[in-house]
Amino acid sequence: MSAAFLIHGFLSDKKDFDALLPKLEGRYGEVFCTDLPGHGEKHTGRKTRLISREGIFEYILAEFDRLQAAHGTVDVFGFSMGGALAHYLAAEREVGRVVLLAPAYKDLFFIYPFYRMKFGREGRRETRAKKKNRELKKPLLGQLITDKAGRREDMKRGAGHFFKVMLPRLGPRNYIAFKRIIRKCNRTARNKILKNPALVVYGRLDQMIPYSVVKRACKGFEDCKVVLYRDITHAMLHSKAGDRIADDIVKFLDSHTE
């Protein structure tokens, strides 16, 4: 059987995929999901340094080669920084299917507050149209998958993950290392059109990664499917809708069986 290689986000850990892992059981000969070097629960101080940029790439390439030697085909999954690393692997190695969750080709989404306001306006426009039993002249981008309580819970979980997991590990050196990792990922994948089936998942209320990453990702794959959620933040699989997102990923895998 084939293998799955799951790569978590910057300063996070393997728990990024807790909602997805149970749904991958029985689908692969091996599901490899571990903490990247310099990441995980044992690295909690701001003075903790990520290993060098070269070390991160050496690590994921070595683990991918191990999985490929044992299982042949390897599907790669990546969240945030892990999404950029997964795209890098697809450009450097012969991989199977590719799943990118809010891939961090860019960061620091300064205009997020405007998207938040736009979401509110779109919601009111949709409500008025339903009351009048009319269709919207301009369809809204992405599907709505939670209620107001779910959106509040999503924001709470996302903020909690940032303050409890990421912030204690964030420091200037770590952030510089992150920028260098992303720069190398982008440079490696630039101008390459890959034939792998790819899924890009993005939440329109993402506080950290701009919507432009969706177009950036799809430019790199001939066969690219996009799933947009209008009301999901960067929390993704950590959100209340994590199971629904995981189900959509499984649907993509089922539609691209070998």
* Domain spans of the chain, in order of start: 3-255
190 vs 1: CA distance, rounded Å: 31
When pLDDT is cut at 50, 70 and 90, the band that residue 134 belongs to is low
pLDDT recorded at residue 149: 77
Whole-angstrom Cα distance, residue 63 to residue 68? 9
Is the confidence at residue 44, as pLDDT, over 60? Answer: no
56-75 per-position pLDDT tens digit = 899 999 999 999 999 999 99
Q: Which pLDDT belongs to residue 119?
A: 63
Beta bridge partners of 77: 6, 99
Question: Per CATH, which fold does 3-255 belong to?
Answer: Rossmann fold (3.40.50)
H/E stretch holding 218 reads helix 212-218
